[in-house]
Amino acid sequence: MGLIEVERIAAPRATRVSGGAGPVDADLVDADLVDQVAATTGLPAGQAERVVADVIAYFSLTVEEFVRRRHHELQLHGARNDAIFERIRAELGHRPVRAPDLSTRQLRRIVYG
pLDDT mean across residues, the chain: 79
Tell me what pLDDT residue 15 has.
Answer: 41
Which pTM was predicted? 0.61
34 pLDDT band, cuts 50/70/90, is: very high
Same domain, 32 and 19: yes
Contact residues for 47 (Cβ-Cβ < 8 A; gap 6+): 38
* Chain segment 61-93, per-residue pLDDT in tens: 899 999 999 999 999 999 999 999 999 999 998
**Region of 42 on the Ramachandran plot (φ > 0 left; ψ -120 to 50 alpha; else beta):** left
The total number of structural domains that make up the chain: 2
* Chain segment 91-101, per-residue pLDDT in tens: 998 888 778 89
- Give the residue among 28, 74, 69, 65 at the shortest CA–CA distance from 49: 28
Same domain, 51 and 84: no
Half-sphere exposure of 70 (CA within 13 A, CB side): 23
Helix boundaries (H) for 12-103: 31-41, 45-59, 63-76, 81-92
Tell me what pLDDT residue 21 has.
Answer: 46
Q: Which domain holds residue 69?
A: 63-112
